[in-house]
Amino acid sequence: MELSLDTSLVFIPKTISDFLAQLSTMEDSSQRSSELDAYVKRLEDEMRKIEVFKRELPLCMLLLKDAIERLKEKVMQCKKMEDRPVIEEFIPLKGNLDENGGGVLGKENSDKKNWMSSAQLWSTSLNIFEYNKHDSVSGLRMRNEEDDRSVPENPIEASNNRAMGRTFVPFKEQYESGFTGTCLKDDKEVSQVPSLSLMTPLMSEALDASTNTNIKSNNNCRGGSGSGLAGQLKLQNKPQQQSQQQQPFRKQRRCWSPELHRRFVESLQQLGGTQVATPKQIRELMQVDGLTNDEVKSHLQKYRLHVRKLPASSAAKGNGIWMPLDHSADHSKANNSQSGSPQGPLLPGEFAKGRSTTGGESDNSREAEEDEKSDGQSWKGGLLHNNQGGDV
C-alpha cells in the first residue's frame, strides 16, 4: 500500500478526445500505437467489468464498444500510415461529447436525447440506428403516447426500409465476442449488436419498427443476416424459394426480441396465465403495432409448449430471447393497460386458473405452471418473474 504511485503507472481517465489530443503530440509513432493499444485495453477491461450490467447500462456498453471500435481503427491507421493525423475523425465526436457531458462516459446522466444525438453523430461507422433497429425491431413499436407524436418518420421503420440505401456497416467481430445477438439464430452470422434487450430508453425514443400489417420487411432480426446490405435487401420481399404450393411468399418471420417477449409475458400474466389468455387479448394488451394475432398465437403456442416441458432442457437455453426480464420498470408500463389490480390476478390466475380452455391436460397444465415459477430462466424467466415482489 505504498503510495509511490508513479504517475506514469497510474491511469488517469481521459476522454477520448483528450487522449487523442495528447496522442497527436507524440512524435514517436510506435509510442502512439502503444498508447492507443493501452487505451483500448483499458476500455475493453472496462467493458468486461460492466458486461454484467449490460442490461442496466446499455448506453455505457454501446459507448464503450463504439469507442473501442474507433480506437482500434486508429490503431490500425497508426500502424499503417504513421504520418496521418490521428485526430481528425474524432474532432466531431469530441465536440459532441463535450457538449453533452464531456467525455466518453462522461456523465451518462445526460438525457437520452442528448445521448442519442451525440451517438448518432459519433457513430459514423457504427450506426446507432442500425443498433436500435436490431433490438427494437425485433420488434415493433409499442403504441404509447410517445409514438403517436413521435418523429414523423420513424427512425426504425425508416431505417428498415431504407436501411439498404444507407450505409450498413457491419459491426465488428470483436463485438460479438461478448454478446449474443438476440434473434438471429437462424441466420448464420449477422453482425449483431449487443443485444441489450432492454434498450428501453432508446426504444421509447427511436423505437418503432415493423408495424402495420405484416410487412415483414423489416425483421432485422434476421435482417442483418447474410451479408449486410445484401441480406437486408433480401428481406424486403423475397419470394425466394417459396413453396411451389400456394402463396407467393411467406411473410417474414417475426422475431420475438426480448423486449417483445417481455411484453408478451407481462400481458400473459395480466390476463391470468398461459392457459387462459387468448392471443387476441394478449395482443391487445401488448399494444404493439404490427403485431398480429397469428403471431401472438404462434408465440403463445410455443410458449405453452416450453412451459409445459421445461424440465431440465429448458433451463439450458436460458439465454436467447427468453432471458430474464427485468421487471423493475416495466410494471408501470404494463399496468397502464390493465386496470388497477396489478399482480393480484396475475399469478394467482396463473396457477389457480383451471385448465378451462382445453381441459384435456389437466395434469399437465398444472405441472407446467409449477415449473414456470420454479425456473428463473428461459421462458419462465419471463413468466413469473413478476412475483418477485411477493405479489403472487
Rule CB under 7 A: which residues touch DNA? 183, 185-186, 214, 216, 240-243, 245-247, 250-256, 278-281, 293-295, 297-302, 304, 306, 313, 317, 320-322, 357-358, 360
- Which residue's C-alpha cell is 434473434? 183
Smallest distance from DNA to CB 340, Å: 23
Smallest distance from DNA to CB 94, Å: 41
Smallest distance from DNA to CB 358, Å: 4
Q: What are phi and psi of 301, to 5 degrees?
A: -60, -45
The SS3 of residue 387 is helix
Q: Report the C-alpha dihedral over residues 362, 365, 371, 373, rounded to 10 degrees.
A: -110
Smallest distance from DNA to CB 170, Å: 20
Nearer to DNA, 34 or 281 (CB): 281
Nearer to DNA, 16 or 140 (CB): 140
Q: What's the full length of the chain, in residues?
A: 392
Smallest distance from DNA to CB 380, Å: 13
Nearer to DNA, 169 or 233 (CB): 233
Give dist(CA 201, CA 111) in Å, integer.
10
Give dist(CA 160, CA 286) in Å, integer.
22
Nearer to DNA, 95 or 320 (CB): 320
How far is C-alpha 247 from the chain's CA centre?
A: 32
Q: Report the C-alpha dihedral over residues 348, 351, 356, 358, rounded to 10 degrees.
A: 150
Nearer to DNA, 143 or 251 (CB): 251
Nearer to DNA, 118 or 252 (CB): 252
Q: What angle do CA 227, 233, 237 make, to 5 degrees?
A: 135
CB 242 within 8 A of CB 250: yes
Smallest distance from DNA to CB 312, Å: 11
